[in-house]
Amino acid sequence: MLHALGTAVPALVAGGCSGPLSTLDSAGPAARDVATLWWAMLAGATLLTLLVVALLALAFLRRARQGETGAALWIGWLGLAMPGVVLLALLGSALVLGERMIARSEPGLVVVEATGHQWFWDFRQPGAEGAIATRDVLHIPAGRPVHVRIAAADVIHGFWVPRLAGKMDAIPGHVNVLRIEAAQPGVFEGQCAEFCGLDHTGHRFRVIAHDEAGWAAFQRGEGP
């Protein structure tokens, strides 16, 4: 076990939080905001855990009895007031953040369609002459908000590109809209997040974010 730890710690430091599917290695505004929220919550959670551990340790260590401590301190302050304040602040900021992330129309918006099947994805992007259909590869322009209209052909699937944004389920009979945006051109890995049967593991796709020229070429039907 020590040996494993010996190899693990450098890997953690070097590899850090990067990876083709890492939510912490963000490449778009939504994923970046969530990653920031995570680091803030992690800091808060660490503090609170240390507080509890310290209080527990003190309960065993303090030998001199300083008399009974009352319900007001433990239940009033630590049990009600402290978590109440922390939670309200957190809840408020998370709601505001969520408001920023939900799909609403704005200039420069691109709308694409994604349909989950067992076990592949059909995508339709707007082209110069009607929609362009692709399978398992979604093309988007970088630096512009994209609305993905998500549907499912058979069972429930989940559309998720971890480095760009959160996930949204593809539910038969319903159409859900997810907003994604890639800050820079690049290739981003996507995967089906909702268990969808035998080949759920292999139910993956890829998002290619083009620069302006590349996107124009794609819309004309040129390029990869």
Partner 1 sequence: MLWAFGFSLLYALHGIGCAGGWDEVAMAGATLFRWALVGTWCLLCLGAVALMRRAWAAPAGFERGLGLVSALAGLAAILVTGAPVVLTSACA
Partner 2 sequence: MNALRRHRALTAIWGAPRGWRGTIVSVNHSDIGRRFILAAFAFFAIGGVLAMMIRAQLATPGSAFVGPDIYNQLFTMHGSIMMFLFAIPMFEGLALYLLPKMLGSRDMAFPRLSAFGWWCYLFGGSILIAALAMGVAPDGGWFMYTPLSSRAYSPGINADVWLLGITFVEISAIAAAVEITVSILKLRAPGMRLDQMPLFAWYMLITALMMIVAFPPLILGSILLEVERAFDWPFFDPARGGSPLLWQHLFWLFGHPEVYIIFLPAAGVISTVLPVMARTRILGYGWIVAALLAMAFLSFGLWVHHMFATGIPHMALGFFSAASALVAIPTAVQVFAWIGTLWNGRPELKLPMLYLLGFFLIFVIGGLTGVMLAMVPFDWQAHDTHFVVAHLHYVLVGGFVFPMMAGAYYWLPHFTGRARGGALGSAAFWLVFLGFNLTFFLMHLTGLLGMRRRVHTYSEEMGWTWLNLLSSMGSFVMAFGFALFALDVALQIFWSRRTRRNPWSAGTLEWASPIPTPAYNIASLPHVGDREPLAAQPALALKLARGEGYLAEPRHGWREAMAVESTTGAIDHIVVLPGNTRLPIVTAAMTGGFFLSLLFGFYWLAPVPLALVVVLAWRWASVLGHREDFGPLPIGHGQTAPIHREAAGAPGWWGSAFLLVADGTLLASLLFGYAFLWVVAPNWPPPARIDGGFLLGLTAAAASLAGVGLARRGLAAAEARAPIAAGRAAAGAAAAQAVCIVALLSLGVTALPAPETHAYAAAGWALLVYAALHAAIALLCTAFAGARIASGHVSGTRLLEPSVARLFSDYSGAATLIVLVCVLAPAIAP
97-156 positions binding partner 1, by CB under 8 A: 98-99, 102-104
Closer CB to partner 2, 119 or 218, in the complex = 119
Residue 205 near residue 136, CB atoms below 8 Å: yes
Residue 120 near residue 152, CB atoms below 8 Å: no
174 binds partner 1 (CB under 8 A): no
Closer CB to partner 2, 137 or 156, in the complex = 156
Out of 50, 53, 54, 88, which residue is the one contacting partner 1 (CB under 8 A)?
A: 88
95 binds partner 1 (CB under 8 A): yes
Q: Compute the distance between CA of residue 103 and CA of residue 96 in angstroms, rounded to an integer.
A: 14
At 53, the amino acid letter reads V
Q: Minimum distance between the CB of residue 208 and partner 1, rounded to whole angstroms?
A: 27
Closer CB to partner 2, 99 or 129, in the complex = 99
The count of C-alpha atoms lying within 13 angstroms of the C-alpha of 22, restricted to the half-sphere facing its C-beta, is: 12
Q: How many CB atoms lie within 10 A of CB 151?
A: 18
Q: Which of partner 2, partner 1, none interacts with 104 (beta carbon under 5 to 8 A by kind)? A: partner 1
Closer CB to partner 1, 103 or 146, in the complex = 103
Q: How many CB atoms lie within 10 A of CB 215?
A: 22
Q: Taking every pair of C-alpha atoms in the chain, what is the biggest distance, in angstroms?
A: 83
Q: Residue numbers of the site for partner 1 (CB under 8 A)?
A: 88, 91-92, 95-96, 98-99, 102-104, 177
